[in-house]
């Protein structure tokens, strides 16, 4: 199975530099594949939104101090403010890819 859709490669190239922490690049590609499989079960889901959200969802961890990341998620989260910060940073990073996403959306069949 081809991992990335061809129209997502440029966005992946932008995103992967933010996914070097905790092997998030590998995690993201595995998760992307799982989302592709799940989308086969839900015809109503917006495929592009789901796949791009999965691709970009962990980029914000790149802005969090590495020594605190493993303590900033899960049931024993010691830094919930960093969990939220990674979400905000991720939105900022994703907005840098927004131009590519808009171009992608405009190129989709109607």
pLDDT tens digits, residue range 35-92? 999 999 998 999 999 999 999 989 999 988 989 998 998 899 999 999 999 888 888 8
* Structural domain range at position 21: 6-107
Q: In the numeric block, which tokens belong to residue 66?
A: 């590495």
Between CA 65 and CA 67 the distance in angstroms is 6
Is residue 93 in a domain? yes
Is residue 49 in a domain? yes
Is residue 58 in a domain? yes
Is-contact 8 29, C-beta < 8 A? Answer: no
Is residue 1 in a domain? no
Q: Residue 31: exposed, middle, or buried by beta-carbon count in 10 A (0-12, 13-18, 19+)?
A: middle
Q: Structure pTM?
A: 0.76
pLDDT for position 102: 47
């Amino acid at each position: 199975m081809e991992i990335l859709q061809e129209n997502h490669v440029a966005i992946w190239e932008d995103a992967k530099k933010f996914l070097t922490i905790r092997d998030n690049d590998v995690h993201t590609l595995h998760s992307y594949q799982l989302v592709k499989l799940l989308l086969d079960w839900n015809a109503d889901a917006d495929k592009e939104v789901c796949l791009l959200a999965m691709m970009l969802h962990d980029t914000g961890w790149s802005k969090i101090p590495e020594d605190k990341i493993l303590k900033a998620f899960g049931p024993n989260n010691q830094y919930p403010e960093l969990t939220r910060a990674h979400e905000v940073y991720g939105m900022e990073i994703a907005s840098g890819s927004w131009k590519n996403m808009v171009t992608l959306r405009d190129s989709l069949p109607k």
